[in-house]
Structure 1
Amino acid sequence: MHLTATERSKLLRVARMEPHLQFMCGPLLKFDTIESGHTWLGAALVVTADSGSIYEPHPKLSYEWDPDKLTPSTLRPHPADPHSTVLPGLPISATVSNGSAMVQEMPGPNARKEDAYGQDIFVYAGTGGTFTFWRFMIRIPLGDHEMEITYRINNGQAINFYVPGRRQNMRWAAHSCNGFSAGVNPDDFRGPGFQSGYDPLWFDLLGHHAETPYHALVGGGDQLYCDSLMREPEMQGWVSKMRPEEKKQHPLTEEIRICIDRFLFNHYCQAFRRGAFARANCSIPMVNMCDDHDPDDMQQAPVFRQIGARGYFFFLLFQCFINPEFDGLSDAPGKHVYKSLIIGKEGPYIPLPSHSFLVNMGPQTALLMLDCRAERRKDRICSSFEYDRVFQQLRLLPPTVEHLVVMVGIPIAYPRMVFLESALESKFNPLVALGRNGSLGLSGFVNKFNADAELLDDLNDHWTARSHKKERNWLIEQMQLIARTQRLRVSWLSGDVHCAAVGVLKTHKPNKKEPEVPIDIDHRYMINVVTSAIVNTPPPGGVLTMVNSLSTKTHKTLHYAETDECMMPLFGTDTDGSSRKQKYVMGKRNWCSIDWDRSNGNIHFTLQIEKKKGLGDTAPYPTFAPPPGWSRS
C-alpha cells in the first residue's frame, strides 16, 4: 500500500488528548466486583498537574465494546509511550493492527459506547503546584463471552482491558513485593534488553496476558517500598536520633508533615508510571491490599504515627481509588461507591478504619482481601468487630460460589521458627547487644527504630508467632466452619516472605494406619499458596536451607481441632529441569496465575518461577484446590 507523506503522518500521528491533560500518574484501573452476576464494576484513576491541564470541558473517559466480537488480546501502548499511535477521528474500535499498517474496522450493530466524567476526589498541593486526582466510575453489562473493553481519556491514547463472560470465572494474576529492599542494587536483577531490574517478571506476566488475558491483577502487599523516605533531608533530625526514647519524643514539625506527603505523592507517581508495571496497571484492573506488619512502641511516636496515617491514606488513594474524606466511612448498601468494601474499626495507630474487600470473581469464585494492617496491635491482627463484619458478608455469598480465596499478606500455613524467635528476643543474645552498641559493624543487625533484632521484627509479623498463634488457630477454625456449612472450598493466598511455597491444612488422622480423608470431601483441606516476590531479592541460601528443613515437620498445633499442617513438596525439579533436594520452598522471584477449570471445578494456582535471574522467563509450578465434595449444612 503506497501512502503519501501527508497520509502517513495522519495515519501514524501520536494520540493527543483534547483538551490536554498533563498526567503525573495513570491511567490506573481498579476492579471492584461483579454485581448481581451480570454487571462489571470498576474505576480508572489519573493524577494531573493543574498548571499543565485544561479542565473545560470536564475530563472524560470514554469506553466501548462489542458484545458480538471475539477479539484476540492486543496489548496497547501506555500513554507515556512516545510512539503510541491511533487513527484520528475514528471510533476506538475502528483502529486495529494488521501487520505494520493500520486498517479500519467498523463496529458491529450491537457495539456500545459509554462516557464517564471525572470526579475530583483529592487535590495534592506541593511546592511544584497543585495536582488533581480524577476518578472515573465504570459499569459494563457482561455478555455471553469474554469482551475486550477499550478506553481513552479526553480522546487520547486507546488502551484495552478484558472482562469475563457472564457465566465465566475470572482469570487473575497475583503478586507481592513489587520493589527492592534498602541495600539491594536493582541492576543486579536487570538482564539484557531490560531497562531496570523491576521489569523482567512484569514483562513475563504481560506476555502471559497477551496470550490469554487476565481479568484482574491482585496485589498481596508491598506494591510500593517506601524505605527511601528515611533519606529525605527533613527526616534526618529524627532518623539520626540513636536512642529509641529520643525518637519517641521528637516533635512532628510542619516541615516533616510536608515532607511525608511530598515523598509519598512523588514516589507513587514515579513507581506506578514506571516500566512494565505501568503497562500492567493500566490494562489489567487491580485489586490491592496492604502488607501486614506488627506495630511496636515506636508507633506511638508522633513522627511514626504520621508516617503510618499518611501511608495508609495514600495507599487507599493510589491503590484503591478511595478518599475517605470524599467517599465517607459507611459501607451500608448504597452508601459507598464500592460494593465490595467492608469497613471495620479504627486501629490504635492508624486514624482510619480497616478496609477489607469481598470480591465476586465469577459464578463459582470469590476473593476476600482481609485488611490485617489498619487495626493491628502487637497482640492482635484484626479486631472482633472486623471479623464479625467479614463473616457477616461471607454468609451472604451466592450459593453458586464454591471457591473462596482468602488473601492475607503474610502466610498462615508456613514453617515455624520459634527457636529463632526465642533466641533473638533474649537479652543475652550477644549479636543484639553488639548491634545496639554499633560494635563490630553489626548495627544493621538491629532495627534502626526500636533497636530490636531486625529479623525478629519480621518473625513477629507471622501468624505463627507466639503473640498471634491463638488468633490464627481460631481464624482457621472459623474458616473450616464456614467451609463446611456454606459448602465452600477455602484456599489462602499470601506473599511477604520473598519465596514461593504451598502450605497445607487437612484433617488429622490419629491412627496412621487409617487412610487420609480424600481431599475432595475434606472441608478442612486448605492450601496456602505463597507468591513472593515479583521484584525483590530472595532470602540468602542459608535461610532457604533452614526453612526447607523446617518444612518437613508436620505440626500438632491444631490437632485439638482435628487438623494437620504440612508443606507441599512442589519443587522437586528446578527451573532448569534438574532435581532438587529442597522441595518445599523455592527462593526465586515469582508471581502466580489463578484460573478456574470448567471441566472439573478445580481452581488452579500456577506459580511462575523465574528461571534465571533478570532474564524475564519463568517456569510453571501448578497446584490446585478441588471443589467442595460435601453438601451445605
Structure 2
Amino acid sequence: MDEPGFHARRRAELEQRAAARDGKLGLHGIKATEPLENREELRQQVSVPEARDESVAGSYQEVGYRPPATVVNADEIPGPKPVTGTVPTVEPLDRPHIRGMKPQLQMMTGVMLRYDTTVNNVWHGFAMIVTSDGGSDYSQRPQLALEWDATSGAIADRLANVHISELPRRDPSGGGKEEGVHSLRLDGQQIYTYYSVAGGQTFWRFKIEIPLGEREEEIFYSLNGGPECSFWVPAFDQEFRVMYHSCNGFSSGVDTDSFNGPDPLWRDVLRKHEEKPIHVMVGGGDQIYCDPLTREPEIAPWITETDVNVKIAAPLTDEMKLALDRFFFNWYCAWFRGGAFGVAVGKIPMLNMLDDHDMIDGFGSYPDDLQQSPVFSAIGAAGYKWFLLFQMFIVDEMDGTRPETAVGIAHVNTHPSKSLIIGGDGAFIPFPNHSFLSYLGPKMYILMIDWRGERRKDQLASKTTYERCERAVDALPAGVEHLVVLLGVPIAYPRMTAIETVLESKFNPMSLLAKAKIMPSAVNKFNAEAELKDDLADHPCAGDHKKERNWLMERFQHMATSKHIRISIMSGDVHATANSKFCSTKKVAPAKDPKYMLQIISSAIVNTPPPPAVIWLVTKLGQKRHKTLHYIDTDEELIPLFEEDTDGSKPKSNTVMGRRNYCMADYDTASDDLQFTLCVEKSQGSGTTKEYAIRAPPPRW
C-alpha cells in the first residue's frame, strides 16, 4: 500500500507548526489555557485532567508531565498565548499512514544526534540508539532513513498551490523514490553491548554524510520506518547557528521543584529552534551529573569510610565493577531520553566536552594518592568511558587511539571521528586525551580542549595535547576568522587566593567544623578535605595551575597572530554567567588588537545558581584589574554586561548574573562579528529568558 509522499508529509507538518506558532495550538499541539490567579484557586479547580482533543492533529499527552511547583505571571508562561473561540482543526492527510517500526526495536533511548565536522562541503555526523536485545527483532540491522529536498525548495514552490490530497504519494514497492527528494538508507554499526541482569543492551551507530546545498535544509529521519523527526544543516556558505550550555543537572540537595525541574530552559531552546533553526548545541561540561553514583550499595561503603588510608588501599571488587557500569548505563539512559533535553538531542546535533560531574565531582583535582587508588581511578575510568560512548559515540577499543589517525585535520583523519585530536595519556585513567576541532562554517571553527583526561592537581592538560591542538589549528584553511576555544572551566575568573591559603592550612575552619560534627557537609566524601578545596583547585587561576594558564594564554595569542584569527573562549562550571575580556595594555581598538579575546561563561542551564553572598564575593573580587599577564602586555577584566536585571530593575552586580542561562552564537554577515547572546532566565523556574548580547569583532589588524 502506498503512503503519503515526502512533500505531503512536509505540508502537514508545516501547517501543524504554523498553527502552534500562531497560538491556535499550545506547545506540542496541546491547548493553551490562561494561568489561574492564585494558588488557592489552583487548589480548588485542579481535577482529573481532560482527555486530549482528538480534533487536533498530532496532539498527545506529555509523558511524565507534572504541574509546575510555582505559579508564575502570565507573561512568563512559555509558548503561544491562548486564543478564544473554537480551536481549529489542522487539515489531516487523506488515509493517514500510521508509521510503526518494522522490524520492531525495544528502545532504551531515542535517536541521539552528534555533529562531527564538515569536509569539502559535506556535513559529517552520527546518530546512535540503544536497544534492548530481548525485546528487539534483529532479523535485519536497524536502519536509519534520511530524506531532504534536493532541489533547494524548487519542487516545493512548484507544488505550493496543489491540494495536500493531490500531492505525490510514495509506493514502497517501487523503491519509494520521489522526484527531487534525496534519500539515504544507513545500516547501524554495532559498537558496544552492555550486559545486565536483564540481558544485552546494544549500541548502534549510524555514520551520516550530507552534502551541503545552496540553502539550509531540514533533514528528516526515521528508524526502521517509524515516526519521523528532523534536524537542520546549514547552507554550504553559511555559518552555523550555535547554542552553548553547561551544568545540565542538579547537585545533590537541591530542591528541584522550586526550579520546575530541568525542563524550563530546554523548552526555551526548543522554541528558539522552532523559530530559527539551531545547527548544533555545544555542551561545555557536566551534561550529566553522576554524583548519585556514591549512593550505589556496592560503592557507598567505600565512600563512607572515614580513614583515608583504608580508602586508598581498598581493592576494587568485581561487584564494584558491575555497579559502576550498571549505574552509568541506567543513569545515562534515563537522562538522555527524558524531558525536554531528551527531545533536544534528537533534534539538534550535539558537540560535547566533559567536565568533572560527567565522571565524578572534582575528579583530577584531588591528591595523587587518592586519584591512583584502585576504586577512585576505576570511578574516573568508568565515567570517561561512558562519556565517550554516550556523548561522543566513540569506543576506543573499536575506533582506535593511535595519534596519527586522529590529528584534528578532517581530511587527514582516518579515525571515524574526523574532528578528533588524540592527545597525551590519561593521568589516572587508561584513556588518552580526546580533544576536538570542528568546522562551524567557512569563517568559524571550534576547538574543544579536554581538561579532564590528563588533569591532576598541578596539570590541566599535557604539553603533548596542547602541541597537537596547535598543529591542528595551524592547518586551518585560509579565510577562517573566528576560533571559539571551549574550556570546561573559566580561564579568567576572580582570584580566590586568600580562601585557597586558608583551606590549605591544617587548621582550616571547614575541617574543624566537620570534625566537631557541627557542619559535616563542609568536607568532601573522598578524603575529608574542605568541600570548597577541589572546586578552587579545579580553576586555572588556582596557584597550582597559574603557570600553565599564563603559558596557554601566550599560545592563544600566538595562534591569533600567526593565523590571523579572532579567538573567543567559552566556559561553564560556575553556575553563573560572567564575561571577561583579555586585551592589550595599550589603547588599541578591539578589531585591531590580536590580544582582544572574550571569555563567555554560560552556566548553568539546569543547576541552581550560587547563593547571593557568593555572587557578591565574586563581584567584589572581580573589581580588581589583574596584572598577571602584564609581562606580555595583556590586561584582563570582567565586563559590565548586566546594566539591567531580568525584570528591568538595577541589578546588585553588573558583571555577574546568578540565574540559570544558556548562550546563542550567531554570525553577523554584515560586520563579520560573532555575536554571543546570553539567554538568562527571568525568574526562577519560569523558562522565559532575557537576552544580553556581546560581540567579538573580526581580526582587522
In the superposition, the TM-score normalised over structure 2's length comes to: 0.81
Secondary structure of residue in 1 paired with 2:287: coil
Whole-Å separation in 2 of the counterparts to 1:278 and 1:249: 40
Q: CA deviation at 1:440?
A: 4.0
2:256 matched to 1:227? no
Counterpart of 2:391 (choices 315, 319, 341) is 319
Aligned to 2:627: 556
Q: Distance in 1 between matches of 2:150 and 2:217?
A: 6
Deviation per residue, 1:457-495 (Å, 9 max, x gap): 101100100000110010011110110111000000000
Counterpart for residue 602 of structure 2: 531
Instruction: Determine helix, strand or coil for the equivalent of 1:343.
Output: strand
Instruction: Report the Cα distance in structure 1 between the residues aligned to 2:614 and 2:211, rounded to whole angstroms.
Output: 49
Deviation of the 1:15 alpha carbon: 3.0
Aligned 1:197-212 pairs, distance under 5 A: 197-212=261-276
Paired residue for 1:162?
A: 232
In the TM superposition, residue 9 of structure 1 has moved relative to its aligned partner by 11
- Other-structure match for 1:87: none
Amino acid at match of 1:423: V
Shift of 1:373: 0.6
Q: Within 5 A, what are the aligned runs for 1:80-229?
A: 109-190=179-260, 197-229=261-293
Which residue does the alignment assign to 1:373? 452
Label 1:582 to 1:109 Cα distance change in 2 as closer, same or farther (>3 A).
Answer: same
Q: For 1:485-512, what per-residue CA distance to the aligned partner results, in whole angstroms no more than 9, with x for missing partners? A: 1100000000000001111100013xxx
Which residue, 301, 318, 324 being the options, matches 1:260? 324
Question: What CA distance in whole angstroms lies between the structure 1 residues aligned with 2:321 and 2:98?
Answer: 40
8 Å CA contact retained: 1:66, 1:108: no
Residues in 2 aligned to 1:479 and 1:428: alpha-carbon distance in whole angstroms: 39
| Match in the other structure for 2:370 | 298
- State how far apart, in whole Å, the 2-side matches of 1:127 and 1:312 are: 23
Query: What residue is the counterpart of 2:648 in the other structure?
Result: 577
Equivalent pair of 2:304/2:525 in contact (CA under 8 Å)? no
Amino acid paired to 1:50:
D
Equivalents in 2 of 1:548, 1:165: separation in Å?
Answer: 42
Change beyond 3 A, Cα 1:416–1:185 = same
User: Amino acid of the residue matched to residue 144 of structure 1?
Assistant: E
User: What is the identity, as a one-letter code, of the residue corresponding to 1:57?
Assistant: Q
- Please tell me whether residue 623 in structure 1 is matched to residue 694 in structure 2: yes
1:116 is displaced (CA, Å) by: 1.0
> Are residues 433 and 54 of structure 1, via their aligned partners in 2, closer, same or farther at CA, if it must alter by over 3 Å?
same
Deviation at residue 299 of structure 1 after TM alignment: 1.4
Aligned partner of 1:359 among 438, 441, 456: 438
Q: Which runs of 5+ in 1 are unaligned?
A: 72-94, 191-196, 510-515
Contact 1:539–1:587 (8 Å) recurs in 2: yes
Q: CA deviation at 1:411?
A: 0.5
* Aligned equivalents of 2:166, 2:632: Cα separation in 1: 64
In 2, distance between residues paired with 1:28 and 1:220?
18
What amino acid does structure 1 have at the position aligned with 2:215? H
Show the 5 A alignment for 1:206-605.
206-292=270-356, 293=362, 294-296=364-366, 297-330=369-402, 331-332=405-406, 333-435=412-514, 437=515, 439-509=516-586, 516-605=587-676
SS at match of 1:416: coil
How many residue pairs align between the two structures? 588
The two structures have a TM-score, normalised by structure 1, of: 0.90
2:683 alignment partner, one of 612, 615, 629: 612
In 2 relative to 1, CA 146–549 (structure 1 residues): closer, same or farther, beyond 3 Å?
A: same
Q: Does structure 2 conserve the Cα–Cα contact (< 8 Å) formed by 1:555 and 1:564?
A: yes
Query: Is the 8 Å Cα contact of residues 170 and 215 (structure 1) preserved in structure 2?
Result: yes
Secondary structure of the 1:18 match is coil
The code of the aligned residue for 1:41 comes to H
How far the C-alpha of 1:13 sits from its partner, in A, is 6.0
Task: Describe the superposition over 1:211-252 as per-residue Cα deviations: whole angstroms up to 9, x where unpaired.
Answer: 001000100000000111111111122122112111111111
Q: Deviations over 1:38-97 (max 9, x none)?
A: 1000000000000111111211101111133459xxxxxxxxxxxxxxxxxxxxxxx99x
Give the residue type in structure 2 aligned to 1:214: I
Residue 29 of structure 1 aligns to a residue whose secondary structure is: strand
Asked if 1 retains the 8 angstrom alpha-carbon contact of 2:262 and 2:606, the reply is yes
Aligned partner of 1:421: which letter? E
Which residue in the other structure is 2:3 paired with?
A: none
Name segments (4+ residues, structure 1) moved above 4 Å: 7-14, 101-108
The AA in structure 1 aligned to 2:393 is F
- Aligned position for 2:105: 21
* Alignment-derived partner of residue 52 in structure 1: 135
Report how far residue 11 of structure 1 moved: 4.8
**Identity of aligned pairs, percent?**
48
SS of the aligned residue for 2:544 comes to: coil
Partner SS for 1:245: helix
From the superposition, tell whether residues 533 and 351 of structure 1 become closer, same or farther in structure 2 (CA, over 3 Å).
same
Query: CA 1:456/1:104 → structure 2, altered by over 3 Å: closer, same or farther?
Result: farther
Q: Distance in 1 between matches of 2:652 and 2:670?
A: 34
Please report how far the alpha carbon of residue 430 of structure 1 lies from its aligned counterpart in structure 2 after TM superposition. 3.0
1:417 is displaced (CA, Å) by: 1.0
Q: Which amino acid aligns with 1:28?
A: M
Deviation at 1:451, TM superposition (A): 1.1
SS at match of 1:188: helix
Letter in 1 for 2:196: G
Counterpart Cα distance in 1 of 2:669 and 2:509: 57
Which one-letter code corresponds to 2:102 in the other structure? E
- Say whether the 8 Å CA contact 1:11–1:102 is kept in structure 2: no
Q: Is the 8 A contact 1:569 1:583 kept in 2?
A: yes
Q: 1:241 to 1:148 in 2, by over 3 A?
A: same
Does the 8 Å CA contact 2:647/2:682 hold for their aligned counterparts? yes
- What do residues 132-168 of structure 1 show as CA deviations (whole Å, max 9, x unaligned)? 0000000000001101100111011111000000000
- Distance in 2 between the 1:8 and 1:397 partners? 49
Partner of 1:193: none
Amino acid at match of 1:446: V
* Counterpart secondary structure, 1:134: strand
More deviation in 48-57 or 488-497? Answer: 48-57
- In the other structure, the counterpart of 2:174 is none
8 Å CA contact 1:506, 1:525 repeated in 2: yes
1:278 is aligned with what amino acid?
G
How far apart, in 2, do the equivalents of 1:534 and 1:552 lie?
26
8 Å Cα contact 1:30/1:286 also seen in 2: yes
Given that 1:379 and 1:468 are in contact with CA atoms closer than 8 Å, whether structure 2 keeps it comes out as yes
Structure 1 residues 448-457 or 518-527, which shifts more? 448-457
Report deviation, 1:186: 1.2
Q: What do the CA deviations read for 1:187-208 (whole angstroms, capped 9, x no partner)?
A: 1111xxxxxx110000011111
Q: Is the 8 Å Cα contact of residues 128 and 205 (structure 2) preserved in structure 1?
A: yes
SS at structure 2 position matched to 1:23: coil
Gaps of 5+ in 2: 1-11, 13-54, 56-90, 170-176, 357-361, 407-411
Q: Name the structure 2 match of 1:83.
A: none
